[in-house]
Amino acid sequence: MSCNEGHYTAGSVTLAFLLGGAVGAALTALLSPRSGPENIDAIRTQADTLRREAQRMAEEVRERTEEIVGKGRDLVETKKAILESALEAGREAMEREKERLLGKLRKEGTLEEEA
């Protein structure tokens, strides 16, 4: 299992949970004083519990993933708007400077007027 700064990934937690359940079910079947049909019922019950828990965890992972993707989209849109604004401001500044320099050149008479 990978640990990143004390946080386990959802996949590693799910895998550990499922493996623990499988080992527990196998040990129950091997060490139980119950009869075969009773063991089968116990294993079936445990499997159903594991299945529900795995489905719950999968739903949590799906919801968390959607949340993270949504935040990522919002971040990208925000940064995109900032960049578009900066680009437009740069274009406007360049156009103003161009007009200022052209006016200066015309004033000095070094720029021939285009007909």
Mean pLDDT across the stretch 33-45?
Answer: 78
The structure tokens listed for 4 are: 């990143």
Distance CA 13, CA 65 (A): 16
Q: Which long-range contacts (CB under 8 A, 24 or more apart) does 22-25 make?
A: 22/50, 25/50
Mean pLDDT, all residues of the chain? 83
Neighbour tally for 47: CB within 10 Å: 13
- pLDDT by residue (tens digit) across 59-82? 998 999 999 999 999 999 999 999
What does pTM read for this prediction?
A: 0.48
pLDDT of residue 3: 47
pLDDT of residue 2: 46
Helix intervals (H) in the chain: 10-31, 36-108
Residue partners of 82: CB distance under 8 A and separation at least 6: none
Opening angle at CA 76, ends 70 and 77, nearest 5: 90
pLDDT of residue 20: 82
- Residue 74: C-alpha distances to residues 69, 85, 90 (Å): 9, 17, 24
What are the residues facing 7 on neighbouring strands?
Answer: 4
- pLDDT by residue (tens digit) across 79-104? 999 999 999 999 999 999 999 999 88
